[in-house]
Amino acid sequence: MEPVINHGSARPNAMLLNVGFGNVVAADRIIAIISPNSAPVKRLKDEAKDDKRLIDVTQGRKTRSVLITDSNHVILSAVQTETISQRLLTLKDAEGSGIPLK
């Protein structure tokens, strides 16, 4: 999977991270990727839903990871936490190495 750069937004160099099912998130906005199984994370999810800060990109599948952004949005993904973490590391490595991205 190749990293993606969004060339048409107000953030022209924003690197986008695939979080499953064709959904992407600005990689530099993510502050945490966590497992959804603990009670505190479930409360965090419920609070975000009440405050209209919850973004569900699971397409009806089981939530396998929860992403927290710097804008305090909570993103639910059906992709494993380890997989998203690896994608983020690959994206950051590609950014730092000067590899041209598509």
What per-residue confidence (pLDDT) applies to 79? 98
What per-residue confidence (pLDDT) applies to 94? 85
Q: Yes or no: say if 77 and 19 are a contact pair by the CB < 8 Å rule.
A: yes
One digit per residue, pLDDT tens: the chain, 102 residues? Answer: 455 554 445 566 789 999 999 999 999 999 999 999 999 999 999 999 999 999 999 999 999 999 999 999 999 999 999 999 999 999 988 887 766 655
pLDDT digits (tens, 9 = 90+) for 29-52: 999 999 999 999 999 999 999 999
Q: Is 83 left (phi over 0), alpha (psi -120 to 50) or beta?
A: alpha
CA distances from 28 to 40, 59, 74 (A): 24, 24, 15
Report how far residue 51's alpha carbon sits from residue 69's, in angstroms, rounded to the nearest whole number: 15
Report how far residue 14's alpha carbon sits from residue 12's, in angstroms, rounded to the nearest whole number: 6
Q: Which two tokens stand for residue 92?
A: 């950051």
Q: Yes or no: say if 24 and 2 are a contact pair by the CB < 8 Å rule.
A: no
DSSP-assigned states of every residue in 34-53: E-TTSHHHHHHHHHHHHTT-
